[in-house]
Amino acid sequence: MKKENLGSVKALKKQLGAAVAMVCVAAVALGSSTYAWFVNNTMVKTTGADVSASAAYALLISEGADGAATGWVTTHTMANDKNLAMVPVSTTGKSTTTPMTFWKSNEWATVGDDGAKQSLVNTYSTTTANTEYLTETFQIKASQACNLYLDQDTVINATGADKTTSTLDKTLRVALVVTDTNGYNKTFFYQIDGEKGNGTANTTNGTADGVTKAVKDGSKSGIEALDVISTDNMSADSKVPVLTTVNATSSALVEKTAATTAKVDTLYSFANPEDVCTVTAYIWMEGCDEDCTAANITTLTGEANKINAVFGFCAGATN
């Protein structure tokens, strides 16, 4: 998107808001160890969430639940916003279809002469949408030909009395799967901390046995598995995820510029007035992140904290 278009883009925004309130610990059995992969036996529940979406005149959002467009309005209330028992999960995605598949650790492997449980995952189990991770589907319609962008007002973070920037936001991930009836299908991934790159010391664990077992054949190394996770999650048209950067003071996802070697993601291009796309949003705690440790998850699930999500979308001129 051209720089001179950014100002007009902001005037045509819509926001999808989520406030997942009062996160509390249901069960914690972590011991004193720090695990660099999935944190076992941690469950949180959220209640009383306020989730809504609003749109400017160029964009409208569907009124119905789970993507059913029973009407076109400026405010959409998400149905899947309460009573989540979120746990660390991960995904190897699907190449061309939705929904994405998530899984969680089932038990730790027993290794070593002492038989101690180590930071390796032995078995896995599937997960349930809107129980262990949040997902919501809605439709967006444009009144004119335009591009759809994720606005820099978008914020995904954890807030509360115990919030520290060094712990709470580091395990959160967001994916947006955008489709239409003509076969368009792209997936966009966003990490919610400022640490950059796959495989770095504090972003993604490339050596844990659990990552290897996440890939299709179970025989790749951890680093190779990371490559599979990065590519298999994407559709054929979007093999390389473009991660947005993070505002240093507000944890807001912000547009990339030439200075950061990438441009803002074009989520969809409306070719004609009244064109419609479907967006499925996912929010989860990423078990493959090295920041997914006992200490960080315990802090995130403290009673004083909550996870907030605001998806801001804006319309801009087509290229």
Are the beta carbons of 52 and 58 closer than 8 angstroms?
no
Helix (H) or strand (E) holding 100: none
Task: With a cut of 60, say whether residue 300 has pLDDT above it.
Answer: no
pLDDT value of position 103: 74
Residue 78's pLDDT band (cuts 50, 70, 90): low
Q: Which long-range contacts (CB under 8 A, 24 or more apart) does 162-170 make?
A: 162/299, 162/302, 162/304, 162/305, 163/305, 164/299, 165/251, 167/291, 167/295, 167/296, 167/299, 167/300, 168/296, 168/299, 168/300, 168/305, 169/193, 169/251, 170/195, 170/202, 170/289, 170/291, 170/296
How confident is residue 72, by pLDDT bands cut at 50, 70 and 90? Answer: confident
What is the per-residue pLDDT across 171-222, written as a single tens digit (0 to 9) for each?
Answer: 677 777 888 999 888 777 665 544 443 333 333 333 333 333 333 333 333 3
- Give pLDDT tens digits for 138-171: 888 888 787 777 655 565 666 554 444 445 556 6
pLDDT at 158: 60
Question: Looking at the predicted structure, is the pLDDT value of residue 223 above 50?
Answer: no
Range of the domain at 61: 3-316
Q: Would the pLDDT of 228 be above 50?
A: no
Which residue, among 178, 315, 172, has the nearest Cα to 238 in the 3D structure? 178
Residue 245 near residue 256 (C-beta atoms within 8 A): yes
- Angle of CA points 95, 257, 319, to nearest 5°: 70
Lowest mean pLDDT: which of 28-37, 120-129, 253-262? 28-37
- Say whether pTM exceeds 0.75: no
If one compares 92 and 147, the residue with the highest pLDDT of the two is 147
Dihedral of CA 183/265/54/160: which sign?
A: positive
Mean pLDDT, residues 228-245 taken together = 36
Is pLDDT larger for residue 78 or for residue 83?
78
First to last CA, the chain: 7
Q: In the block, which residue shows the tokens 């989730």?
A: 51
The total domain count for the chain is 1
One-letter amino acid for residue 51 of the chain: V
Determine the pLDDT at residue 185. Answer: 81
204: helix, strand or coil: coil
Specify the 3-state DSSP secondary structure of 134. strand
Task: Determine contact, residues 141/275, Cβ cutoff 8 Å.
Answer: yes
pLDDT above 90 coverage of the chain, percent:
2
CB 91 within 8 A of CB 102: yes
- In the chain, pLDDT over 70 holds for what percent of residues? 25
